[in-house]
Chain A
Amino acid sequence: MTKDNYILAIETSCDETAAAIVKNGRELAANVVASQIESHKRFGGVVPEIASRHHIEQITITLEETLSQAGMVIDDIDAIAVTEGPGLVGALLVGVNTAKALAFAKNKPLVGVHHIAGHIYANRLEKEFEFPLLSLVVSGGHTELILMKEHGSFEVIGETRDDAAGEAYDKVARTLKLPYPGGPHIDKLAQEGDETIDFPRAWLEEGSYDFSFSGLKSAVINKLHNAKQKGDTLEDKNVAASFQASVVDVLSTKTYQAAKEHQVKQVIVAGGVAANQGLRKALADKFEGEEIELLIPPLKLCTDNAAMIAAAGAVAYQQGHRAGWDLNANPSLSLERYASRSIKHR
């Protein structure tokens, strides 16, 4: 019988200062997220320097709350995991240097984690993985289809060629003058409206699992602009519903096709946009009656948190992956580079 292990993880890649403790890679012992959203709202987006300043103010408070939530002391922890990238460099640096300091002070192993690997592993806190599995990662910075054949292996089989889905949401929301962050507001409006406008769907070449959202984004902005010039009124809720229908159609269709082609056992949705009701419903419809299991994490695990980093970190830890004292923040760390590195360390 193997001994239980506890991973303490830190995540500061954007505007949430987060720490968590996960037992054996699957059980949540503590999960604390200090959000800065109120500070950034007035600027209509995340201001990197402000995010970094908040992180250093919050970090030790967040850690203390995490340990007390778990009823543990730091000596009970087996390893420290941290998001090393991608993300905002100044923000990541606070987390990375915190993790190194804790690991050094307490002589604990240190594990670097890719943020997107974390989003995928958030699902393992709910359900054990069965391979091969396909993950659709959708967030403010990412739209990717990732095939996993085993733990710690990530193959990007499709990705966006321009904007991430979340970016398109934010830009359309701004055009509709919706408050920041725009994604959830569009989703809510879309529930009230109908698809009255036929916006384009970028399917790209036959068989490609890549995405493109910049054309759609421009089409929405042009449509609103032209209507305004002609004095027509478009109902915002119908624009939102039509825009969302286009995004969700492409995402769910490509996910379904990729899942079939690679004969996966599970499909996992990850990232902040996984909270989107329209996307959840479309995917549920597509996979209804199929043998493929569809997993969408609960809302609190969709947005950025450290529990997901602990879950991914637990696997990297067990596979023998260790970071050195020279671990750095890597704002553009690629998932495939990260994956090949962790395999190498096995």
Chain B
Amino acid sequence: MNVLAIDTSNQILGVAVVKNGETAGELITNIKKNHSVRLMPAIAQLMKETGVTPSDLDRIVVAKGPGSYTGVRIGLTTAKSMGWALNIPVIGVSSLEVLAYQGMYFNGSICPFFDARRGLVYTGLYDQDMKLLKDETNMLMAEWLEELKEREEPILFLSQDVELHREAIEEILGDQAIIPPQACHAPRPSALALAGENKEAESLHGLVPNYLRLVEAEAKWLEQQEKK
């Protein structure tokens, strides 16, 4: 089975080609540059080097967010359209789950998160087997840390944005918090491929980003409707 994995949901651009369970190639950049311009050249290059043509693909796995709305859409649009044209399944995997894979053998719970500004984070909680212990959510980091404290178990924090929240994490959780070195915080497209390899495909048309947030105009509108 040949799998193409695509992640453009946050600053990292990641593409992997996995042949029969083995990572044949992986491309990762962590730079502030336009995913829309760079994604397709990256896919074309990696597929060429690994000797896999589009018609050789059996499935596509894509990180479906949360993350940058635009970034998530670039990856998901590309995956959906390729999958549709090739008539192969496309599997959407949570971007938080992909990141959680970086802590796969951690003895405790794994907390991946992305900064969502104004003190908010997109986050969730996973166990060693990548089972979701707490539904993914968009909440205040301060509240989330209090909730984690009550679990009284070691928590591994994984995030490209970890420095923004290090002080708060260490202050509230103390020794309960484990923050690994920088290199561990980058989600890997090979892990994405692994995560999606055995997941059942949903309907391709129905595959949409996992925004975890309403559009602001919509939220305001709903608020006004409630007041009426």
Chain B contacts for A42, CB-based, 8 A: 221
- Pairwise interchain contact A97-B69, C-beta atoms closer than 8 A: no
Which residues of chain B come closer than 8 Å to A104, judged between CB atoms? 40, 43-44, 54, 82
Among B82, B204, B209, chain A packs the most CB atoms within 10 A around the CB of B82
Which of A56, A90, A107, A324 gathers the greatest number of chain B CB atoms within 10 Å? A56
How would you classify the secondary structure of chain A's contact residues: helix, strand, loop or mixed? helix
On whether the beta carbons of B74 and A325 are closer than 8 Å, the reply is no
Q: Is A101 engaged at the interface, CB distance under 8 Å to the other chain?
A: yes
Is A328 an interface residue when CB atoms closer than 8 A count as contact?
yes
A115-148 toward B: CB 8 Å interface, digit per residue (1/0)? 0000000000000000000000000000000000
Q: Let me know if B77 and A56 touch, CB within 8 A.
A: yes
* Interface of chain B: mostly helix, strand, loop or mixed: helix
Residue in B closest to A326 when the chains form the complex, CB atoms: B37
A-facing residues in B63-97 (Cβ within 8 Å): 69-70, 73-74, 76-82, 84-86
Contact partners of B107 in chain A: CB under 8 A: none
> Do B73 and A60 touch across chains, with their CB atoms under 8 A apart?
no
Is B37 a contact of A105 with CB atoms below 8 Å? no
A69-99 CB contacts (< 8 Å) to partner B? 74, 90, 93-94, 96-99
Residues of chain A contacted by B39 (CB below 8 angstroms): 97
Interface positions, chain A 274-308, Cβ under 8 Å from B, are: none
Q: How far is the CA of A106 from the CA of B83 in the complex (A)?
A: 11
B218 within 8 A of A: yes
Is B215's beta carbon under 8 Å from chain A? yes
A97 x B54 contact (CB < 8 A) = no
CB proximity of A210 to chain B, nearest CB, Å: 34
For residue B32, CB closer than 8 A to chain A, the reply is no
Whether the Cβ atoms of B54 and A90 lie closer than 8 Å is: no
A60 and B205 alpha carbons, distance in the complex (Å): 6
Specify which of A56, A57, A328 is in contact with B37 (CB 8 Å cutoff).
A328
User: How many A residues are at the interface, by size bracket?
Assistant: 35 or more
Q: Does A100 lie within 8 Å of B38, measured CB to CB?
A: no
CB-CB under 8 A from B70, the residues of chain A are 52, 90, 93
User: Which residues of B, 12-64, contact A by the 8 Å Cβ criterion?
Assistant: 34, 36-41, 43-44, 54
One of A61, A74, A101 near B40 (C-beta < 8 A): A101
Is A64 close to B, CB under 8 A? yes
CB-based contact B81/A60 at 8 Å: yes
Interface residues of A in 30-79 (CB under 8 A from B): 42-43, 47, 49-50, 52-53, 56-57, 59-61, 63-64, 74
A258 within 8 A of B: no
Interchain CB contact under 8 A, B69 and A105: no
Q: How does the 8 Å CB contact mask read for B196-228 relative to A, with 1 for contact and 0 for none?
A: 000000001100110100011110010000000
What residues of A have a CB within 8 angstroms of the CB of B221 in the complex? 42-43
Q: With A60-B204, A64-B84 in contact, is A53–B78 under 8 Å at CB?
A: no
A329 at the interface (CB under 8 A from B): yes
Q: 5 closest A-B pairs (Cβ-Cβ)? A: A101-B81, A325-B40, A105-B85, A97-B77, A98-B81
Could you list 19 further interchain pairs (A-B, Cβ under 8 angstroms) beyond the known A49-B217, A101-B77? A47-B217, A49-B69, A60-B80, A61-B205, A63-B81, A64-B205, A93-B70, A97-B36, A97-B40, A97-B74, A98-B78, A98-B80, A100-B40, A101-B80, A102-B82, A102-B85, A105-B85, A326-B41, A328-B36
B residues at A contact (CB < 8 Å) = 34, 36-41, 43-44, 54, 69-70, 73-74, 76-82, 84-86, 204-205, 208-209, 211, 215-218, 221
Interface, chain A (partner B; CB < 8 A): 42-43, 47, 49-50, 52-53, 56-57, 59-61, 63-64, 74, 90, 93-94, 96-102, 104-107, 324-329
9 contacts between A and B (CB under 8 A): A49-B215, A93-B74, A97-B39, A98-B78, A101-B81, A102-B82, A104-B44, A106-B54, A326-B38
